[in-house]
Structure 1
């Protein structure tokens, strides 16, 4: 956990390292950082791939080496990594660079570590719980398109067991077994097939008074009168969120860390999905698994602000630990679709939610 005897800052900055070490000591145990990032306070003589070069004025020098550029001007900080750009606005404490080093050492990716560093306030290390959990101190994501004028309809704060299913047959079967929140994730490019499957699933949702979400295919979901749609982060750039909101369709958004959660909240979705909690083989994930410790912190920050759904690699074995974080819903796939006895699996999983309040 120690930051000492490591090249954390360049040029060497003993005072910053001491503050970073003090902050890191109060953040608890986290997996060892997979990348030993070096925060460069000026353009380095010999750039490295794990450099984060900080500029407080417009860069007047090209930085090569495959690292990241961090531009901090007033209350705005922009991180650039290759073609990716992360812009945040907020109040910067005097310790924000030291906090950035500490959160990087907790194995957070630079954009999430930066989000946490901007939420950090001088003296937070003296609190009983030093982790940033006060939403008011968190920055906002800058340069986003306007959110829809009409807010997305609300959904229950606790959506409970949330099976993600491949077909209308599965949706009908699961709803008949008492599940009241589910999603159709139909992997098909056949428009006729999609329309049939979505229409059947929506009708089943109506028949059972259930919350039925359609994954990705928002146009077909609107046409069928679906309860909701679920979109990924990349879909926000291409989907017509105004059309979804005007149709009265609820919106769930996937997130994979602090930056994406703040970005998603800008659009005032009906719920946020937090994941992937554990490794999953059902789809290719853009980020490494989050784990229960991160999920716990996400719930502490966002609980009461928006309904939350844990997703990714969740089965009956880990479900009690997932629910112990306080999250109000958990999505499952193989725990239902590959269960030897579907009815028994759903009954067992439903009982795990029964004790939630």
Structure 2
């Protein structure tokens, strides 16, 4: 048993289910040490009389689609509870006003596995992904039974069609990836020899934005560097950019087909397993994994992932798609980040707020070289 494993003393299932608790403990004992979960979720096999914000109410009969049933789900959600409908290779989680749809394998022990992954601190939508990647008996095959075979993972349903062809490839090892606020910074850092850069210009008038993008792209060509444009995908296409970086919400609004046809590389942000699967659906050029550490450069939708999760993500996706670690990464922690096996790390303040940006960039690049030795 791990030191953080305290399932038996908790109200883990409703109604109480000794066999499920025993199975959850057995699985949890093979998943390694994780910080204590911030929410003691209770998995309800029947609807409790008093629903609370830590309840996940499970239905295994998806035929219940009456208007009354849907109204009941809506009421539970307003009380902070979540609802999982699962049957016939499909699981739908309703939580926080969001509907998470997955298609994949439902093992006999999937509910016990769900409880175990929740205890590892994963949010319900990511814990559900892992539960569908679980196979009965996995806990008997290895001291570390964490799912790491991408072919076993479910797929996200209900997504827009992906472009007919995958996005253009970019280097598997992008190295130091400098995320910069202006074209002037892109020009400076490109001159330091950094080969992967991103212009993240959040506010600018249309004409000024065009000039900033054009300058950034020109700097990339001059210094043989890969320059990505954050968010402004249409302007990036018009200017002939090497690549574009988008957030999860942008895949529903950006014209990904136009980006693909233009040969523009695509990077997508992710903050956990569910978003990784969403990103993989669109076959991007790379996936960003974060935020690894707390960051002040933007408001993050999730808590910091940490190095242990990053290592799991890299093990799952290495060789599948290029990966970029992002979020709060400084020169002090970069060696620990690289020790997870990730081949690229995005930095912001580590360069732009350094007393000597050129020396800071050189030191960051040196860390990558040392990692290869």
- TM category, shorter: over 0.9
1:116 to 130, 135, 139: 130
Q: C-alpha distance in 1, partners of 2:203/2:158?
A: 34
Question: What residue ranges of structure 1 are gaps of 5+ in the alignment?
Answer: none
Render the CA deviation track for 1:259-297: whole Å, top value 9, x for unaligned: 000010000000000000000000000110000000000
1:44 aligns with 2:48: yes
1:312 aligns with 2:327: yes
2:110 match: 96
**Matched ranges for 1:280-319 at <5 A:** 280-319=295-334
Q: Would you say the 8 A contact 2:291–2:305 is kept in 1? A: yes
1:27 to 28, 31, 46: 31
Render the CA deviation track for 1:321-357: whole Å, top value 9, x for unaligned: 0000000100000000000011110111000111345
Q: C-alpha distance in 1, partners of 2:152/2:167?
A: 25
1:73 to 64, 74, 87: 87
1:138 aligns with 2:164: no
1:205 to 199, 220, 245: 220
Shift of 1:150: 2.5
1:346 match: 361
Farther off after superposition, 141-150 or 111-120: 141-150
1:255 aligns with 2:270: yes
Farther off after superposition, 63-72 or 210-219: 63-72
1:86 aligns with 2:100: yes
1:243 match: 258
Q: C-alpha distance in 2, partners of 1:151/1:298?
A: 21
2:186 to 171, 175, 182: 171
1:53 to 48, 53, 57: 57
Farther off after superposition, 300-309 or 117-126: 117-126
Q: C-alpha distance in 2, partners of 1:175/1:83?
A: 43
2:249 to 230, 234, 240: 234
Render the CA deviation track for 1:40-60: whole Å, top value 9, x for unaligned: 001111111111000112446
**Matched ranges for 1:150-169 at <5 A:** 150-169=165-184
Shift of 1:82: 3.1
Shift of 1:181: 0.4
Q: C-alpha distance in 1, partners of 2:315/2:370?
A: 19
2:16 match: 12
1:184 aligns with 2:199: yes
Q: Would you say the 8 A contact 2:335–2:371 is kept in 1? A: no
1:329 match: 344
Shift of 1:84: 0.3
Render the CA deviation track for 1:218-262: whole Å, top value 9, x for unaligned: 011001100000000001110000010011100000000000000
Render the CA deviation track for 1:180-207: whole Å, top value 9, x for unaligned: 0000001214111110000000011111
Question: What residue ranges of structure 2 are gaps of 5+ in the alignment?
Answer: none
Q: Would you say the 8 A contact 2:32–2:144 is kept in 1? A: no
